[in-house]
Structure 1
Amino acid sequence: MQHRSHLMYFLLIVFFLISVSPVYAENGDASNLPVSKPQTLGKAAVLIDASSGRVLYEANAHQQLPPASVTKIMTGLLVVEKGNLNQKVTVSQTAADTPECSIWLEAGEKLTREQLLYACMLNSANDAAMELAESIAGSEQAFVKLMNRRARQLGLKDTHFCNPHGLEASGHYTSAYDLAMLSREALHYPMFRKVVSTQTMNIPWAGHEYNRLLINQNRLLYRYDGAIGIKTGYTKQAGNCVVGAAQRGDMVLIAVSLNSPSVYQDLEQMLDYGFNNYSQKTIKKAEQLAVTVPVENGTAESVQARPQTDLVAALTEKEQSQVSYKFYPQENVSAPIKKGQILGTCRMYVAGHEAGRVNLVASSPVDPQPPLWNRFKSASIKVIIFIFKTFLVLFGCAYLIRFINLRRQRRRRVYRA
């Protein structure tokens, strides 16, 4: 058994070494790469700018399709957001029995959430995904509810999840665009980015003299300059699916291809197209912008809201003179308001077309007005204090007048005497 495991790992490593061929520009010069629009073969594909979310290329980007194991991007995001990655997890029988791609977890085995996260994202282990789901939410069903709730929060309108791993299920679907936006959110977390960009990792294997060797199945990491990850997937129904990202300078691009016979060529074409035609430009610094938002039932009548980040977008040279932005503050905003609370959006436009959004957030907190009885008591106290002060002033004036009159009377008596 031990010799078989060693042989399996050896064959996996050989497979990756012979199947990847690095795609770099000659001498690092990106100008040698094609700049024409991609000719993708996937049923759906999209390329976005990670900074703004702007779509740079798309083909059937909103078509609802089965995502296979790229589902695990949402699983990984929820795990990272939950935190406590060093927490030890005891593998359940349900997780150990999860079929197909696995790292052969055994019921009762103990691993950390972080170790399971690497197994989930690198080896695409379904058993690891299931155990993470149970660790976070208590059950697969409860975790799926969290997945769909988070999808709604992110505005993923073409998405519905039925499980945390991506095995085929009726009603389990998403779109290339939603996967790109989901990945954009996930890459905000350094831990997520670290995991999906890792090529190999060793984690413990109870009862064995050696560790489990995890190998990232995303070949983009081995064949494209600046690749970050993110996730692969395959089922008979979904076909080959890959979500990839790469960075050149300050610009990060995210590419998605679903159900494609040439999935990596699709991604490479899209990324080349993006890096050769666009560059990241700062439209406006966040501290230079502000909008006044009226506040109801607050101790202040309004609050200043600013963009959460600088207004940044991928632009061509021609587009740099065609950029504008507009504030869309929320209406009927009521106290209490926390500092950093979302109060609207700032939308960026290129030649009149929306190119991205940034949340508007409160620059300071606003407390609610006190209840009516407290307000009445407060007003009553102010009135009483005012009356008291007025009485003191009037009493003082009367006393002063009385004192002056008494002095005059005494002077008259002395004069007469």
Structure 2
Amino acid sequence: MKFTKLFATVFASLVAANSVAFAAADDMATMKARLDEMEKRLSDVETQNILQNVIWSGVLINRYEHFTNNNMTSTDTLDGYSTAVAINGDFTINEKTKVYTTIAMSKFWNLEGRNESWPNWKKSEEGSYQMNGSAPYFDRAYLAYKFDIPLTFSIGRMPTNNGMPINQLDGIARQGTYPRFAYNAIFDGAALSYDFKLPEGHTLSASFFYTPWVNVDPYDRTHQWQDTNNGNYKTGTTPQYTFLADYAYTGSSLFKKFSAEYMWYNYQNFYWWGDNPSSPKTANNNQTITGGPNRYDGTANMLYLGLDDIAMTGISGSVSTQLYGSHYVDGNPPKDTWASSYLFSLSKAFGANGRTIIGAEYINTDKYYYLDESAALELIPFYSQPNSKGYHIFATQRLTNNIGLRMGYYRLITKSDTDAAISAADYNSYYAHLRVDF
């Protein structure tokens, strides 16, 4: 009897203990589920907050170009079908700081693995515009910080390509910082920009850019590049200094907008690294340099003037001028050259909201003219060829606010010049260019 009571007591105690344990386990499971749910909700909130601080946009371009290059000894005829896409992500870090990014690619249809850009500084300036294939590039990746005064500091890979008047061809807003006739290339560096607070209708900004080329050996980051022509190592960097003044006026009844840009840049001891390297590297693991001269100084003054919607007729026009000088350090003897060149643009918008645009461009370049036309999808070297004259006629139809079809024709004649090592050529190109902004 005593044993039965003892057994009953022990059994009841075990049952009570297990019940408590099961209850505790159930409470723990419930608590964990609630914590998981709270964590998920917090993650969702954080994700929503992040997404609210990001602006996504992009552009998709499909292009056909029939290009003929007649250099008086042979003729190349190309039918170039290509696609280019760019995705922009603009991130707001806080009220003073933003990060801007663009990831992009361009390619000919059903063709991968091209490698048209050499030397390596040219690859950097072209980015996704190398038409190498479907592998993406970062064409833009920079931070912008606004001070309490109207001063902005930017650093990284900046939007120095696709400047005015490129946007006028498609009837879209301004895309890039540098005027196209000064540079159409992507640069890495740092910049300070001051926004002068002018009366209503006037805007004026002044920017200073520091964009150094880093002369590090392409196979070993512990070495500088070596110039085998004179046996000396190159300087560690080739700095370029740029000043840009940008003015606009929108307060007149005679036109919608007047724009003026002045740009000056200067660099010294820039290494071209030869035209056709005979070997990717020498025995001491440094790049072989061939051709010449390899080293030169450069400076340029560029002015852009533009009027939009003159007398409310839909007519817009612009003129770009460039004065470019080079000092060939490795020339024998050293050589100085100067070049003055011009680009004129005229267009007229028709219809509701100016959705139909017809226009023309005319270019005249000196024999010593130089332009880094690195961010281009055209096959024809219309904007970069020295000692040339040519014209471009085009018609653009905005199918919707975000879709535009442009069709046009280029003609460019290059004259030969022995002193500048230029061969005669006759270029022709007609194209269709479908752009979708999203």
**Smaller-chain TM-score range?**
under 0.3
Structure 2 length as normaliser, TM-score?
A: 0.25
Could you say which structure has the larger radius of gyration? 1
Structure showing greater relative contact order (alpha-carbon pairs closer than 8 Å, 6 or more residues apart): 1
**Higher strand residue share:** 2
**Higher helix residue share:** 1
Structure 1 length as normaliser, TM-score?
A: 0.26
